[in-house]
Chains A and B, each alone.
Chain A
Amino acid sequence: MSWVRTPHVPFERGLGVGLDLRYGCAHGFVRTSVPEGGSEDRLAPRVRSFLQQHREDFVYAFFSFQPKDRALLDPRDYFPIWDRLVEDVPEYASLALHHTQLNLGTVDQVTDRSRLLDFTNAMIDRYDLRWVNEDVGIWAIDGKPMPYPLPPILTCEGLAACAGHVESIQKALCSPLVLEFPGFSDGSSFVLGQLDAYDFFRDLAEWTHSPVTLDTGHLLSYRWLRGCRGASLYDELDRLPLANCFEIHLSGCQLAGGRFLDLHHGVLLSEQLELLRRLIAKCPNLKAITFEDPKVNADGSLPTKARGPFEELLVIANRWIENAECEDRYARA
């Protein structure tokens, strides 16, 4: 995969955690009083506690960038908050950024991204963020944020437009841009276009020589939308850009009332774990598996429903990591 700008990370294989840090949210940044008077945004104590409890399990973390208000983006507004964030989390081998503003599938006329890209590079530089990823999709239209990112328009024109945006942003970012397969959560998005999303994503990754993130919930949501059930949920994986896969995400999903819901509530489905096993076998350049958006109790523990699947994830991930170590010893022997 020498032609792909793969993130440089100090581990061969690792399990990490991804956190969506919204302001004023119980699992994000909360207003915390300071002794000198006033208050500041700080990582929610329950999340801090969860990360401490699992500091041996995760070698890296990514943080989602969420704007805290409607001000023009200025990194100086975020440095104090993120400086405290880095103090509050364990020392990880790598940190990364899950962006929400790149809008890779945008339908808007984009004339100037310089403020956004300068902001992102300032964050990359200060926190040594090893990669930046974002779901390929439409996060905002004409300045209006979507409640959930829409998939890109799945047409030849949509693909060409998307590739143009990806290339433009790749050139400007100081760390590699990792493309994430978009979600198709029932009720939160709809699909426009005749192209198969797997083919669209593969073509996009290959044309732009991009590393990719395969999100198990997103892949399953697409297959579910296409009417696949049971074993057919796992079919056609070979249409995806498997050789470009750097990272796999697992965030909580639910099947309810015949609908597939990408809830990010921390409870993994058995289907996601099965898909993870299959993808591990098919992705030769996979380096990172991320447990995304855990939702924890006030004491930092996982709710009962989430524990079993999480422990199963640990088993799968640790076996995959150990296999790398075995393969490495074998190669050196």
Chain B
Amino acid sequence: MPGLDASGWHQQCQVLRALVFSESRRAQIDAADDLFGSLVRDDLGRFGERVIADLCTRRRRGAQSFESMYGDTLMGLRASARTDLLRRFCESSWFIRYGEVGDRRSQICFEEATYRFLCERGVGNEEVRRVEFLQAVTRALAVQPNCAFSVPDEVQRARFGLFALAPLAGKTLLFAIVTGRLVTGPVAPASAAFLRAFGHRPATSSLAQDDWDKVGEALAASGIVF
């Protein structure tokens, strides 16, 4: 069996990656022809459409499709614009970092990769976008606590589980996984402050210690204990 020409193989792998995920690279077929000697444009185009469609619609337990995750963020965009957005996502650095197969804790989940991409492009309302992202990612983390992707920075680890906070129309929403259960909903300002401080009352807090403790007790009744 012949040995492997490592540099030649590396080049072929890089070209394949570009062809599969990048519409702009697929347009540069000549370069690939030099390497592979045979390419069929129609096949590549159809495959690329299939990759996009799969990303749009694929559901796995704990995961949502792109459109259902960001329904409100994408409201007002025509179907063609949404598809175009996904094509551009496939060419972005966030797509490179996204992965869901294998043992790569360094990879980010689809929810985070699409969120970062949408933020970069300023798509939709910022608050709505963040809320939809946290809804999707905490749902994913609730289903697979031992996840094969990194936990986004917005989600904090605590003794009771995981949590994140997001402002929406003047309120604060909590997204928490409390002993494996998903808990979401608006929280009072005092509770939000308590959560942000991980239960440690800051010296500058407007709440007296007794009131602070009462907030903690109320959260503890829901299983939220630091």
Interface residues, chain A, with chain B CB atoms under 8 Å away: 23-24, 67-74, 101, 107-108, 112, 115-116, 138-148, 150, 153, 155-158, 160-161, 163-164, 186-194, 207
Contacts and interface: CB of A to CB of B under 8 A. Distances in A.
Contact of A187 (B21, B38, B47, B149): B47
B111 to A, nearest CB: 10
A16 B138 CA distance: 42
B200 interface: no
B12 to A, nearest CB: 5
A305 B53 CA distance: 29
B121 interface: no
Interface stretch (B95-103, B125-133, B216-224): B95-103
Nearest to A203: B1
A144 B101 contact: yes
A158 B100 contact: no
A71 B144 contact: yes
Contacts of B183: none
Given A70-B62, A72-B148, A143-B107, A187 B17 contact: no
Contact of B9 (A71, A116, A157): A157
Contacts of A112: 103
B117 to A, nearest CB: 14
Contacts, number: 140
Residue of B19, B20, B96, B107 with highest tally of chain A CB at under 10 A: B20
Nearest to A259: B46
B146 A157 contact: no
Nearest to A66: B60
A70 B100 contact: yes
B16 interface: yes
Contacts of B2: 156, 160
B102 A140 contact: yes
A194 B102 contact: no
Contact of B36 (A24, A116, A147, A155): A155
B3 A70 contact: no
Interface in B8-55: 8-9, 12-13, 15-17, 19-21, 32, 36-40, 43-44, 46-47, 50-51, 53-54
B61 A192 contact: no
Contact of A68 (B3, B50, B61): B61
B60 A157 contact: no
Interface residues of B, number: 52
Nearest to B148: A72
Interface string B136-172: 0000100111111100000000000000000000000
Contacts of B140: 70
A69 B61 contact: yes
A305 B155 CA distance: 52
19 contacts: A23-B61, A24-B59, A70-B63, A107-B12, A107-B13, A108-B13, A143-B99, A144-B100, A147-B51, A147-B53, A156-B5, A157-B12, A160-B9, A187-B47, A188-B46, A190-B40, A192-B12, A192-B32, A193-B36
Contacts of A69: 60-63, 143-144
B86 interface: no
For the complex of A and B, list the 4 residue pairs with the smallest distance between their C-beta atoms, beginning with the closest.
Answer: A143-B99, A107-B13, A71-B144, A190-B43
Given A107-B16, A187-B46, A188-B50, A144 B98 contact: yes
B103 A155 contact: no
A131 to B, nearest CB: 23
A146 B146 CA distance: 23
Nearest to A164: B4
A70 B46 contact: no
Given A116-B103, A147-B50, A155-B36, A142 B12 contact: no
A266 B62 CA distance: 29
Contacts of B17: 107, 141-142
A144 B37 contact: no
A101 B101 contact: yes
A158 B9 contact: yes
Interface in B48-106: 50-51, 53-54, 59-63, 96, 98-104
A101 B4 CA distance: 23
A194 B37 contact: yes
B9 A188 contact: no
B101 A193 contact: no
Contacts of B192: none
Contacts of A207: 1
Nearest to A150: B20
Contacts of B38: 191-194
Nearest to B17: A141
Contacts of A142: 17, 96, 99
